[in-house]
Amino acid sequence: MHSYPDARTVVRDLSPDEPLILNRPHAARRAARFFVEKFPGKSLYAVKANPSPDLLKVLWDGGITHYDVASIAEVRMVRKTLPDAVLCFMHPIKTERAIEEAYFEHGCKTFSLDSVEELEKIRRATKDAGDLRLCVRLRVSSEYSELSLASKFGVEQAEAAALLQATRQVADWLGVCFHVGSQAMTPFAYVQALDRVRAAIAEASVVIDMIDVGGGFPSVYPGMEPPPLEDYFRLIHQHFYALPIAYNAELWCEPGRALCAEYNSLVVRVEKRRGEELYINDGAYGALFDAAHVDWRFPVRALEDDLFGADADFAFYGPTCDDADYMQGPFPLPEDIQAGDYIEIGMLGAYGAAMRTDFNGFGRAQPVEVTDEPMASLYRGDRERPEADNVVSLR
């Protein structure tokens, strides 16, 4: 893949009619090294955030050896791309055929569950295997996260002890996992969840071999300035050691967004301007799903050299024939921007390229590699600490 210094150089060289995905392998590799070196345990990449084989190889080169897969398709893809990777099937509801194939054909021994029915399914599909590493998913709050993941999965607190006891009888290695929601804006999200884990383990009185604090580690977006990730790691580590678990128990996490958000940006062209609305050639059915459906604000910048107006707030329409293909923003851009101008939309590595569809025939986006820095970063070491941390200490 040809490499360019930045988005402006790409536009000048290619004058693209269709959107371009800009890849920054150095940014993803840096994020991987950060987690490998600073998180006090094992980091699993949550593949659903961005399943690009090129990205998987970059993360592997950065030291990520374990991968959180959520479907048999992800199992196959990661095993093909990274033959030596450790696969962990962390979706709590799976088909028996998927479990069987993952275990017998792809060497996956780690599975999550949140019910006795799923436990029995795993037992049958693996033919009562004696080397299963099973993780009971506990339901926890998502109140401190921008996107909730609290309602769909997880055993309730009142039922957790019984499920832990039943799973201990089947598992060679037993873990507890949870997910505090996406883009957790304070470390207290994990402190609160680990308090629930402590209560469940104490009631169950079983040996626990692993605690998986899941995903939720944030990135930087307009209006969302989280505390440094080191604050999250420090408090998680403190509360992990306060749990009633085996002396050699492992600590895991499953970052998705935090490992891949800085990997991609998107170059789009303005096809029409109507007042403060810009019609662009990507949108809700492409890489901008989150901008449309959860009003996620991404950083933007104009790529023309002849725009001198002060910034004005714009909304975007995507290219399809659907009114839902709308992103209200606001996206601040020069007030004199017009049709034919190009825009770079940043921090789209997580749930951006991964969500693209071919609806209305719009879906193609050529990947191009660039070597400049992403629009924001948690990992360069030059970010000022937010004024309000909302960090708590060990109680």
Average pLDDT, the chain: 92
Contact between 331 and 322 (Cβ < 8 Å): no
- 60-64, 209-213, 219-223, 383-387: segment of lowest average pLDDT: 383-387
Give the pLDDT score at 201.
96
Q: Is the pTM of this model over 0.85?
A: yes
For the segment 210-242, what is each residue's pLDDT rounded down to a tens digit? 999 999 999 999 999 999 999 999 999 999 999
For the segment 13-37, what is each residue's pLDDT rounded down to a tens digit? 999 999 999 999 999 999 999 999 9
Give the pLDDT score at 380.
86
Contact between 240 and 251 (Cβ < 8 Å): yes
Burial grade of 14 (CB within 10 A; 0-12, 13-18, 19 or more):
middle
User: Residue 1: which pLDDT band, with cuts at 50, 70 and 90?
Assistant: low
Q: What is the mean pLDDT of residues 131-156?
A: 88
The domain segmentation of the chain, as residue ranges, is 3-22+263-370, 25-260
Rg of the chain over Cα atoms, rounded to whole angstroms, equals 22
Cβ–Cβ contacts within 10 Å for residue 73, how many? 12
Strand pairing of 173-177 and 133-137? parallel
Strand pairing of 110-113 and 133-137? parallel
CATH of the domain spanning 25-260, picked from 3.20.20.10, 3.30.420.40, 3.90.180.10, 3.20.20.150? 3.20.20.10
Q: What is the CATH number of domain 3-22+263-370?
A: 2.40.37.10
- 210-224, 259-273, 348-362: segment of lowest average pLDDT: 348-362
CA distances from 84 to 67, 254, 390 (A): 11, 18, 40
User: Residue 143: which pLDDT band, with cuts at 50, 70 and 90?
Assistant: confident
